[in-house]
C-alpha cells in the first residue's frame, strides 16, 4: 500500500455537508435554514454598504506582512467594541488582544495558549454547543466535558443543573461560555443568571473562555457585550474570542479577535508575546484585507454610525421573521406553543423537532434544517415564511 493508502476519509462537517446538499437540490421552492449565515429580506448574503464604502476608500495596493498580532488600530478597536471604550481594563492596559483568523482562529489560538500555560485542565462546554468547541480544544490536547444547558422538554435553560455541574467540576477548570445568541439553541442566560454564573466561576477559580460570535444580534452591540464587561469588572485571567463574520457579513475574510484579560499591564505584555508565538508557529501573521476593512469602518465616525445602523437592521429583520414565523404557525395550529420562536435570540432557533421530522421537512418540502432541529432564522424571508410554517406544522402532525 502507498504511504497514505490507509488514511481514513474525513466524515465532513454535518452542517457544511447539508449546505452542499441544498445547493444540489433542483427544487425551486427550497429554503436553506441550515448554516449560520445572515441573509437579507431577498435571501441574499449582504455586502454591508459601510464595508463597501471602506473598500472603495481603501482601494488596493501593496500589502506587506502585518505584525503577528495584527493591525494596531484593529486591535484597539476590537478592545473598545468588546469591553467598551471607558472600561478600566483598557485604561490599565491589562488586555492582550490579537487580530485573529475569524472566531474559529481566536478559539484555536486560545486553546493552544491554554494548553501551554494552563495544561491538564478539563474543558467544559455547554450541552449542546457549536461542535468545534470540542474539536478545537481536543486538538490542543484537552479532554472536553459538557455542562447541562438545554432542556428539550421545556425548551428552556437547565440553569440549576448547569451551576451544579460547574460547582462539582475541579477548581480551575476551563469553561467555555457563549455570552449572547447561544449556538445552537438561541437560549441565553438572564442578567441574574449571568451574575450567579460569574459568582461561581470566580469562586471556583475556573478560567472562562467567552465565545462571542454574534455581538449585535440580540439586543444591540453594547448590550450584547454586557455579560463580558461586567465579568471584567469583577475578575481577570479570562479570555474573550470575538468574531466579525456575522456582524460585518465578512464570512470569507476571516476576521475576529482574541483578548486575554490579565491582572496587570506587564503580565498582559508577556501574554501578548505568547499569543504572538502561537501565531508565528501556525500561520505567522493574519491576512490584511478584512482587517483593513473593519478597522476603516470602526475607526471612521460616519462609517461606524452607518455600520451600527446596518447591524440594527439585521437584528430587527431576524426578530421580525421570528414573529412572522410564530404568527404563521399559529394560523395553522393551536397545538404548537410558538413562544420559544420569539423568546430565543440571535440567528438560531432550537425547534425541538426530531431528526425524522427534520428529514420529512427536507424530503417533502425542501425546507432544510440541521438534523438537531436547529433552524437558522436568518434564512427566513417574507416569501418563504408561510411555506416553512406549513412544513413545520405538517412535520409535527
Ligand atoms: N463560535 C460560535 C458559537 C459560532 O457559532 C461560530 C460560527 N459558526 C464561531 C465561533 C466561528 O466563527 P467564524 O466563522 O468567525 O470562525
Which set of grid coordinates corresponds to residue 259?
483578548
Q: Is 73 in a helix, a strand, or coil? A: helix
**Is a pLDDT exceeding 90 seen at residue 51?**
yes
* 19, 78, 104, 378: residue to mutate for ligand 1 pocket, most atoms within 8 A of CB: 104
How many angstroms does the Cα of residue 101 sit away from the middle of ligand 1?
Answer: 11
Check if 164 is active-site. no
SS3 content of the chain, % helix, strand, coil (to 5): 50, 15, 40
For residue 230, what pLDDT band results from cuts at 50, 70 and 90? very high
Over residues 137-166, mean pLDDT: 96
**Is a pLDDT exceeding 90 seen at residue 57?**
yes
The CA distance from 357 to 82, in Å, is 39
Least confident of 2-11, 217-226, 285-294: 2-11
| The pLDDT value given to residue 14 | 81
Task: Round the average pLDDT of the chain to a whole number and report it.
Answer: 96
Nearest CA to ligand 1 atom 6: 213
The closest alpha carbon to 338, from 349, 347, 346, belongs to: 349
| The pLDDT value given to residue 154 | 86
User: Higher model confidence: residue 109 or residue 18?
Assistant: 109
The closest alpha carbon to 353, from 25, 24, 33, 19, belongs to: 33
Q: Is there an atom of ligand 1 within 6 Å of 104 CB?
A: yes
How many angstroms does the Cα of residue 266 sit away from the middle of ligand 1?
Answer: 31
Q: Is there an atom of ligand 1 within 6 Å of 183 CB?
A: yes
Check if 246 is active-site. yes
Over residues 1-6, mean pLDDT: 93
Ligand 1 atom nearest the C-alpha of 36 is: 8
Ligand 1 atom nearest the C-alpha of 104 is: 16
* 127, 239, 245, 283: residue to mutate for ligand 1 pocket, most atoms within 8 A of CB: 245
Whole-number percent of the chain with pLDDT over 70: 100
For residue 151, the cross-strand partners are: 156
ipTM over 0.90: yes
| The pLDDT value given to residue 87 | 98
Q: Is there an atom of ligand 1 within 6 Å of 211 CB?
A: yes
Tens digits of residue pLDDT in 260-314: 999 999 999 999 999 999 999 999 999 999 999 999 999 999 999 999 999 999 9
Ligand 1 atom nearest the C-alpha of 178 is: 3
How many angstroms does the Cα of residue 243 sit away from the middle of ligand 1?
Answer: 7
Our separate counts of H helices and E strands in the chain read 16, 13
Q: Is there an atom of ligand 1 within 6 Å of 256 CB?
A: yes
CA angle 329, 317, 377 (to 5 degrees): 50
Over residues 230-251, mean pLDDT: 98
Find the catalytic residue in 112, 130, 188, 224: 130
How many angstroms does the Cα of residue 39 sit away from the middle of ligand 1?
Answer: 16
For residue 15, what pLDDT band results from cuts at 50, 70 and 90? confident
| The pLDDT value given to residue 295 | 98
Q: Is there an atom of ligand 1 within 6 Å of 253 CB?
A: no
How many angstroms does the Cα of residue 321 sit away from the middle of ligand 1?
Answer: 22
Whole-number percent of the chain with pLDDT over 90: 93
| The pLDDT value given to residue 281 | 97
| The pLDDT value given to residue 301 | 98
The CA distance from 333 to 193, in Å, is 33
How many angstroms does the Cα of residue 394 sit away from the middle of ligand 1?
Answer: 32
**Is a pLDDT exceeding 90 seen at residue 13?**
no
| The pLDDT value given to residue 245 | 98
**Is a pLDDT exceeding 90 seen at residue 153?**
no
| The pLDDT value given to residue 155 | 87
For residue 70, what pLDDT band results from cuts at 50, 70 and 90? very high
Across 146-159, b (16+ Cβ under 10 Å) vs e yields bbbbbeeeebebbb
Q: Is there an atom of ligand 1 within 6 Å of 36 CB?
A: yes
The closest alpha carbon to 341, from 331, 354, 330, belongs to: 330
Residue 178 · residue 162 · CB < 8 Å? no
Ligand 1 atom nearest the C-alpha of 133 is: 1
| The pLDDT value given to residue 152 | 87
Q: Is there an atom of ligand 1 within 6 Å of 184 CB?
A: no
**Is a pLDDT exceeding 90 seen at residue 17?**
no
Q: What is the pTM of this model?
A: 0.97
| The pLDDT value given to residue 84 | 98
Over residues 162-169, mean pLDDT: 98
| The pLDDT value given to residue 16 | 83
**Is a pLDDT exceeding 90 seen at residue 11?**
no
The CA distance from 370 to 141, in Å, is 29
Q: Is there an atom of ligand 1 within 6 Å of 242 CB?
A: no
The CA distance from 81 to 22, in Å, is 35
How many angstroms does the Cα of residue 45 sit away from the middle of ligand 1?
Answer: 16
Q: How far is CA 385 from the centre of its chain?
A: 24
Amino acid at each position: 500500500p502507498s504511504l497514505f493508502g490507509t488514511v481514513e476519509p474525513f466524515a465532513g462537517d454535518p452542517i457544511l455537508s447539508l449546505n452542499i446538499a441544498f445547493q444540489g437540490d433542483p427544487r425551486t421552492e427550497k429554503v436553506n435554514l441550515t448554516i449560520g449565515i445572515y441573509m437579507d429580506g431577498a435571501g441574499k448574503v449582504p455586502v454591508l454598504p459601510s464595508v463597501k464604502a471602506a473598500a472603495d476608500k481603501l482601494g488596493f495596493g501593496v500589502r506587506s506582512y502585518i505584525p503577528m498580532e495584527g493591525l494596531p488600530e484593529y486591535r484597539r478597536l476590537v478592545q473598545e467594541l468588546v469591553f467598551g471604550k471607558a472600561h478600566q481594563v483598557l485604561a490599565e492596559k491589562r488586555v492582550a488582544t490579537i487580530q485573529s483568523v475569524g472566531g474559529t482562529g481566536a478559539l484555536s489560538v486560545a486553546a493552544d495558549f491554554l494548553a501551554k500555560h494552563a495544561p491538564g485542565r478539563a474543558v467544559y462546554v455547554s450541552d449542546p454547543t457549536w461542535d468545534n468547541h470540542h474539536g478545537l480544544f481536543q486538538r490542543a490536547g484537552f479532554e472536553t466535558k459538557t455542562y447541562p444547558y438545554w432542556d428539550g422538554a421545556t425548551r428552556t435553560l437547565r440553569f440549576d443543573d448547569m451551576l451544579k455541574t460547574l460547582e462539582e467540576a475541579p477548581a480551575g477548570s476551563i469553561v467555555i461560555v457563549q455570552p449572547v445568541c447561544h449556538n445552537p439553541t438561541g437560549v441565553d442566560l438572564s442578567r441574574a443568571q449571568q451574575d450567579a454564573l460569574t459568582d461561581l466561576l470566580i469562586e471556583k477559580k475556573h478560567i472562562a473562555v467567552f465565545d462571542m460570535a454574534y455581538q449585535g444580534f440580540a439586543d444591540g452591540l453594547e448590550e450584547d457585550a454586557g455579560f463580558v464587561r461586567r465579568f471584567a469588572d469583577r475578575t481577570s485571567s479570562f479570555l474573550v474570542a470575538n468574531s466579525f463574520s456575522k456582524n460585518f457579513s465578512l464570512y470569507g475574510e476571516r476576521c475576529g479577535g482574541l483578548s486575554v484579560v490579565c491582572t496587570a499591564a506587564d503580565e498582559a505584555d508577556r501574554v501578548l508575546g505568547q499569543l504572538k508565538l502561537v501565531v508565528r508557529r501556525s500561520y505567522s501573521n493574519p491576512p490584511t484585507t478584512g482587517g483593513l476593512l473593519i478597522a476603516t469602518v470602526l475607526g471612521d465616525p460616519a462609517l461606524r454610525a452607518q455600520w451600527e445602523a446596518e447591524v440594527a437592521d439585521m437584528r430587527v429583520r431576524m426578530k421580525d421573521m421570528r414573529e412572522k414565523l410564530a404568527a404563521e404557525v399559529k394560523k395553522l395550529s393551536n397545538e404548537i406553543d410558538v413562544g420559544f420562536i420569539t423568546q430565543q435570540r440571535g440567528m438560531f432557533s432550537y425547534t425541538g423537532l426530531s431528526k425524522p421530522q427534520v428529514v420529512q421537512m427536507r424530503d417533502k418540502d425542501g425546507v432544510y434544517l440541521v438534523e438537531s432541529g436547529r433552524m437558522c432564522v436568518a434564512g427566513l424571508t417574507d416569501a418563504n415564511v408561510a411555506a416553512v410554517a406549513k412544513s413545520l406544522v405538517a412535520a409535527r402532525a
